[in-house]
Structure 1
């Protein structure tokens, strides 16, 4: 069986995250510069090799001061750790259209294994004849597992920034 390569369509993909602020509201952000690829045997995605990398300095939360703080040594330390990356270690079909994606997430100079739910949306030809495949990924990580420890206590109890980061990722790939 031949290997099929897929590359990310960045204009139709989004690498997003949400973090609770002051324990009760979510702040959303995304990475705007990234690259990803998939290698499959034929058209079956089970067991696919998946690679992702993103530029830390492309983080955007819609607030320039907050983004500057995220890039500082308090959080991502973009000067020392300019990339976030992910290498799949397994991509297992759970049910029709549902997969479990396990892999190594490297962030802030540390690599840890994470599991994400992956919903496969199917394949379709676009108006220009390109075959596209869509996925929605979701999951949670604890930012402190990667050494992103900065926080500030609130007078009322609790902390300014939650440890839990929820991932919301929409991906569209183009068959090569």
Structure 2
């Protein structure tokens, strides 16, 4: 097989309609191939050993270029090529954007017994994003999560998480986040500085934010997509419970990996169903 590659968006989705063009050092096209439904490119054209340029294009995405070296076998593995949405270097148009819980996900992952992971999510939350018109750094976001809506797929475990050992939802029913600033961290990427209120403790927490693009929805509105991640230490929010099993391994890890997949609708309210 001559050429192999994987085409992905910044958040890991396959770009099934991507087109890959390979040119030699003279600029002549030697291969043109399309990605399959999984974003994979597999072209059997044998290539002469040497250096090549790989151009990846797809409707709605900015073109990307990569270099490839073909060995004596006539094969070249380009690896994963990441495409950014066109215009993605900018934030969405200024003004308010309302987070749509039906098309968003707030999840967390914790280590279990030192060998596997437990995945959970919060099913009830709301938030507003305000994109500043002049100084992007003044943009802000506020969000609130109902702590009792935690869902790990196991009722007994969820009951323990909502108890006084962990979230103590009877005393602290809400988890809040309020941004305090925004700084660029690269193309399409930002660092959101803010304060997280969890379990009665408020601490500064930064989010690594990727802006995935903006587009029209079927209901006449405009939507923007974001992905944000961070890591939290339970002890920082006064959640000290832990059960130690054999060999000193903790049953539940103290580090939480938080992942936010957010879709927001332009305006101060969601469209009526």
Same fold (TM over 0.5): yes
TM range (shorter): over 0.9
Task: Give yes or no for the alignment of 1:135 onto 2:226.
Answer: yes
Aligned position for 1:174: 265
Task: Give yes or no for the alignment of 1:153 onto 2:244.
Answer: yes
Structure 2 length as normaliser, TM-score?
A: 0.62
SS at match of 1:78: coil
Aligned position for 1:68: 159
| Contiguous gaps of at least 5 residues in structure 1 | none
Whole-Å separation in 1 of the counterparts to 2:192 and 2:215 = 22
Show the 5 A alignment for 1:20-169. 20-42=111-133, 46-169=137-260
Residues matched between the structures, number: 175
Whole-Å separation in 2 of the counterparts to 1:43 and 1:30 = 35
- The alpha carbon displacement at 1:102 in A equals 1.2
CA offsets, 1:96-152, max 9 Å, x none? 210101110000000000112100001111122211011000110101100111101
Structure 1 outlier segments of 4+, above 6 Å: none
CA offsets, 1:62-119, max 9 Å, x none? 0000000001000000000000000001122222210101110000000000112100
Cα distance, 1:87–1:154 mapped onto 2, change above 3 Å: same
| The 10-residue stretch of structure 1 (17-26 or 122-131) with the greater mean CA deviation from structure 2 | 122-131
- The alpha carbon displacement at 1:8 in A equals 0.7
Higher relative contact order (CA 8 A, sep 6+): 1
Whole-Å separation in 2 of the counterparts to 1:113 and 1:41 = 22
Pairwise CA RMSD of aligned residues? 1.6
Higher Rg: 2
- The alpha carbon displacement at 1:46 in A equals 4.0
The answer (yes or no) to whether the contact 1:12–1:171 under 8 Å persists in 2 is yes
SS at match of 1:169: strand
Whole-Å separation in 1 of the counterparts to 2:134 and 2:243 = 48
| Contiguous gaps of at least 5 residues in structure 2 | 1-92, 268-273
SS at match of 2:227: strand
